[in-house]
Amino acid sequence: MPTEPTDANNDDSIGYADALSELDALLLDLEDDDIDVDLLAAKVDRAAELIKLCRDRIDNAKVQVHRIVADLEAEAPGIDDALALELEE
């Protein structure tokens, strides 16, 4: 059953897991040979919005992790440097 695109204004309230789940459903719809051509552009547009949202959430999480590690290093200079290097990658 094809999914309908949701309102993009709700992106602030959608979690990463929900966005990923919706994206998976959209991708299944897009792979269907019977997709309604009238909905195709809307589904591709929504998929692009969800990809951007997921990337933004991942980037924000990276920033938070780096900030936490930096704070820990400032508090205890002997913290494992390998962990900090691994997080940078």
What's the one-letter identity of residue 1? M
Question: Would you say residue 3 lies in a domain?
Answer: no
Question: Would you say residue 7 lies in a domain?
Answer: no
pLDDT at 3 over 50: no
Say if residues 35 and 43 touch (Cβ distance below 8 Å): yes
Say if residues 53 and 68 touch (Cβ distance below 8 Å): no
Average pLDDT, the chain: 82
Domain containing 39 equals 14-88
CA distance linking residue 50 with residue 21, whole number of Å: 10
Go through the chain and tell me how many residues it has: 89
Model confidence at 83, pLDDT cuts 50, 70, 90, reads low
Count of structural domains, the chain: 1
Question: Would you say residue 6 lies in a domain?
Answer: no
